[in-house]
Amino acid sequence: MGEKRIDKYLFNPKDLIGEGSYAQVYRGREEKTGVKVAIKVLNKSVINADDYLREGLISEIKVMQKLKSPNIVQLMDVMETNNNYYIIQEYCDSGDLDKLIENYVSQKKTMPEKDAVKFMIDILNGFIQLIKNGIIHRDLKPANILIDKGTFKLADFGFAKCVDNFKKDMLASLVGTPLYMSPQILDNKKYTSKTDIWSIAFIFYEALFGKTPWTARSPQELLKNIRNQPLQFKGPQISKEAQEFLTGCLQTEEKDRLSWDDIYRHPLFKGHFTDFIKNVSILEDKATYLINDIRQMIIKEQLDIGELFAELDMTKDKALNVNELGKFLTRVDKNLTREEIEYIFNKFDDDGNNLIEFNEFKKWLEENDCRMTASEVSRTKKKVSILLKPQQDIQAGSLDDRARIVIEKLKTSIVKYNINLLDLFNKYDKSANHELDVLELGKLLKRIDSSVTDEECKSIFSFFDHNKDGSVSFNEFEFVLKECLVKQKLKQQQ
């Protein structure tokens, strides 16, 4: 049998390297360059006859187009003929993790921990892209982890789902390979991206011990065994860090399972993900920076949170997607990147379903001291769209509003002129007793805003004086103004 041509690619039907229920994968090459490729062939009539299969194919293509990482098998091309669909992928020359584990078992050996940690690092590097794009793999297993020149790569996204597409019911479909499924999927319960954390740890355990932590003859029996049989570490000796990692990831309840942040910071990986953690830290600082601007906007413009939410909800589905929130956030800070918007979106999205309901929106704002209600806004005579109107100062308002505005002006000055908080505190601590009284703090406030009244100074002093002992210590002073340190740090990083 000779070679078959699919546009610029050639393959021999004898060079079958993988086969599933609905597809065959062949080793092929690009005709001009000779570069090896993997060609996945799917029968069009079979795929189109099944809505679920067709959705899986479309999902796989969309996911692979989004993901760019040395630890993810790259999509090179997608084609179709009258009879077949063809997915052209990067070719991996060393098989998959499933065969590698089988080789160890056949020799009555298990993978050394340092080698297992190495493939885990590769897998987690790949997952950084999934996390950033809000994608859950849902079918992670050793056979879906390919190896190319010693590098491990995530593959087969046929069951992956972009969380953007999901409503409140989240991911309630039973998919993937049962043995590696999380208890939530086995039990047909709601689940989040932590389902992939379970699968990752399941695979890590299998590599270390040559067997999976639980076995069964059916999904129902597997779920029962997971619930009733404690996790055990019988066999090869593994490090304390590896045991802690496995124990933390293989928690039956998602709320008890390690988070992605916990995983990337885990000592098992010896600081390998420092750059990723640093980037997360910068995003956290940016989120803190932004909430101060949101707080100031809500106070200045006397916005009702309920009305603001309704206005942002362009689709009128009583929830905000990332694009709807993004319009508001870029109204506050036009220089926000997509990554920053998505990170802040996830801060609002308490239940992880990739939509922000009003209760989540209100909760996050109130936790960050943004509490405007309709009764408070009733003082405002003129309503203008939050997405269109320019910033404007309030010339009048409640004592609380004025106090907050003066504090925000103080924060703005500290950041703008890069003022050291301790130096500022000591400058107005005229009695040199390491405390500010109401007169000393008042002098500072009047330097910031000469129109501030004595009554307003007293209100602001009370706000700073957390323990209500009649004086403001440096710790209390710093606590109120701590966001300034974040802003200064961000300015230095830019």
> What whole-number distance in Å separates Cα of residue 182 and Cα of residue 223?
9
CA R_g for the chain:
28
Q: Which residue in 161, 88, 138 sits closest to 353, CA to CA?
A: 161
- Measure Cα distances from 441 to 175, 409, 476, 485 in Å: 62, 14, 12, 20
The one catalytic residue among 139, 156, 313, 349: 139
Q: Which residue in 52, 39, 46 sits closest to 9, CA to CA?
A: 39
| Burial (CB count <10 Å: 0-12, 13-18, 19+), residue 18 | middle
The answer to the question of whether 40 is labelled as a binding residue is yes
Specify the residue for token string 């308490």.
350
360, 348 contact by CB (below 8 A): yes
Please indicate whether residue 93 is annotated as part of the active site. Answer: no
Segments in 301-381 forming alpha helices (H):
305-312, 322-332, 338-348, 358-367, 374-377
Residue 66: what residue type? K
Q: How many CB atoms lie within 10 A of CB 261?
A: 12
The secondary structure of the chain in percent helix, strand, coil, rounded to multiples of 5, reads 50, 15, 35
> What whole-number distance in Å separates Cα of residue 342 and Cα of residue 255?
22
Q: What are phi and psi of 220, to 5 degrees?
A: -65, -40
- H or E stretch covering 28: strand 23-30
Q: What does the block give as tokens for 65? A: 């187009």
Angle of the 421-428 helix axis to the 474-493 helix axis, nearest 10: 140
DSSP line for 125-139: HHHHHHHHTTEE---
- Which positions are annotated as active-site residues? 139
Q: Which residues are annotated as a binding site?
A: 40
Annotated binding site for ATP: 40
